[in-house]
Chains A and B, each alone.
Chain A
Amino acid sequence: MRVVVDLNRCQAYAQCCYAAPERFVLRGDEMLVYDPAPPEAERAAIDRAVLACPVRAIRVEPAAAEGTA
């Protein structure tokens, strides 16, 4: 899967960091660093992050290689 965070939207609420700490980290106060290609096995944690984000800044898309399957 491919994770895209709209960083213009992101307000550094850090909710994703609690949901999937291995994949979302806030550097300092403001800047979100995230893994754009987390392993499929972490789907549940990533979904949690998507749901918890107060500004709905996180999107999950199928990885390019997965095509439309």
Chain B
Amino acid sequence: MSDADGTLFAQVRDPANRPDPYPLYARLRAHPVARQDDGTVVASGYAAIRALLHDPRVSSEDLPPAEHPPTGNPVKDWIVNPLKDRIADRHRPFIFRDPPDHGALRRQVMAQFTVARVRGMKQRTEALVAECLERCAQNRTFDLVEDLAYPLPVTVICELLGVPREDEARFHAWATQLATALEPESRKDETLRACNTETFDAIADYMRDLIREKRRAPADDMLSGLATAKDPEAGRMSDPDLIATAILLLIAGHETTVNLITNGMLTLLRHPDEFARLRADPERAPRVIEELLRYEPPVHYRTRLARAPIPFAGTVIPEGAPLVLLFAAGNRDPARFPHPDRFDPDRADNQHFGFGGALHYCVGAPLARIEAEAALTALAARLRAPRLAEDPPPYRDGSSLRGPKRLRLIIDAIA
């Protein structure tokens, strides 16, 4: 990993490269595990990513300690907020936890993500998509991000969790503010961190009350389930863990799903033959969506920490090194996928990293598949002569959760 260009990942993060990072990924893959000038080690080859995903020396606990920014109020700065920070550090959301804690928390969430509950959201999701399209029925142009993709996942997860409908609007605002919380870049930005901490505190307060209410009068929803169920080994989930979990479910499924829908429509409009085929045969949707998760994944990379020296392909990843698992580069590795840069829903073997892999494989994958399928099949069926108002569209800043800031479509009509 020595003679490689150590600035490639910095270039990946540069917003100028957001519309098309794939040539950079190809250069990174020349060294499937590459050390960058700042000490970060980037895995971009399929086999390397896979090995590291499964390696117990690779930790997901790479979140810096929680830290409320100073407020000037001594009681808050010296007592209340440090206490909140200590609790936050001890009860991180399980996406940032390693075994054994991770397993118990994840198991309890999976127990609530029942097949019946998730599949029960299918019809509801289709109805929500139809409502969004109804609202735009008179328009000849609309923004897929704002008019459909952005509101959908928040409404779906709120209904699944059991957030009262009248409070949903607050969740939409929180979700928008917190969307950046999973973006590794945001940890370095002071204002963003301050704003996120404030929002976290607000949701946490709201959740604490809602959980109390669910315990008092449990309903058939995930939050009631999480608040009342007892795991045979771990017992009942503590309130701070429950709050962290609920917030994780809200933000992990937000911009990711938005990106799948918008990247999906963008890709389909760049491949009009595939768009036509989907319209003619909605049964193609699952193939289209799996290929989207490979070809234009919503999550380009996740970060990790090397807990011990890890020998790899003749070199050693040093202990303590920050790691980047560049899923989107592995998804285009020619050593794993034939003609990787071609969008081909019919490819036979499509074992992509769109939902990650191993212990942290996406909990919400079945729900995300339902939402993306509802949105993309409805768009294919109902938009008449859709075309892109701008290509490439403007992108949000995030290089990990990468997706268009808006996706303006011009249409003849909505059927």
Contacts and interface: CB of A to CB of B under 8 A. Distances in A.
Given A15-B366, A29-B107, A52 B286 contact: yes
B349 interface: yes
B357 interface: yes
A51 B287 contact: yes
A13 B361 contact: yes
A2 interface: no
Main secondary structure of the interface of A (DSSP, over half): helix
30 contacts: A13-B361, A14-B110, A15-B365, A15-B366, A17-B115, A18-B115, A18-B118, A18-B119, A18-B366, A18-B369, A19-B366, A21-B116, A21-B119, A29-B107, A44-B283, A48-B286, A51-B286, A51-B287, A51-B350, A52-B286, A52-B290, A52-B365, A52-B366, A52-B369, A54-B351, A54-B355, A54-B357, A54-B361, A55-B351, A56-B351
Nearest to A25: B115
A48 B287 CA distance: 8
Interface residues of B, number: 19
Interface of A: 13-15, 17-19, 21, 29, 44, 47-48, 51-52, 54-56
B57 to A, nearest CB: 20
A51 B68 CA distance: 44
Nearest to B359: A11
A35 B383 CA distance: 39
Interface of B: 107, 110, 115-116, 118-119, 283, 286-287, 290, 349-351, 355, 357, 361, 365-366, 369
A32 to B, nearest CB: 13
Contacts of B283: 44
B361 to A, nearest CB: 6
B290 to A, nearest CB: 5
Nearest to B289: A51
A51 B115 contact: no
A44 B283 CA distance: 8
A6 B391 CA distance: 43
Most buried by B among A18, A21, A47: A18
Contacts of B290: 51-52
Contacts of B115: 17-18, 21
Contacts of B286: 47-48, 51-52
A55 B287 CA distance: 16
Nearest to A44: B283
User: Which 4 pairs, one residue from A and one from B, show the smallest C-beta to C-beta distance?
Assistant: A18-B366, A21-B115, A48-B286, A51-B286
Nearest to B373: A48
Contacts of A47: 286
B89 to A, nearest CB: 29
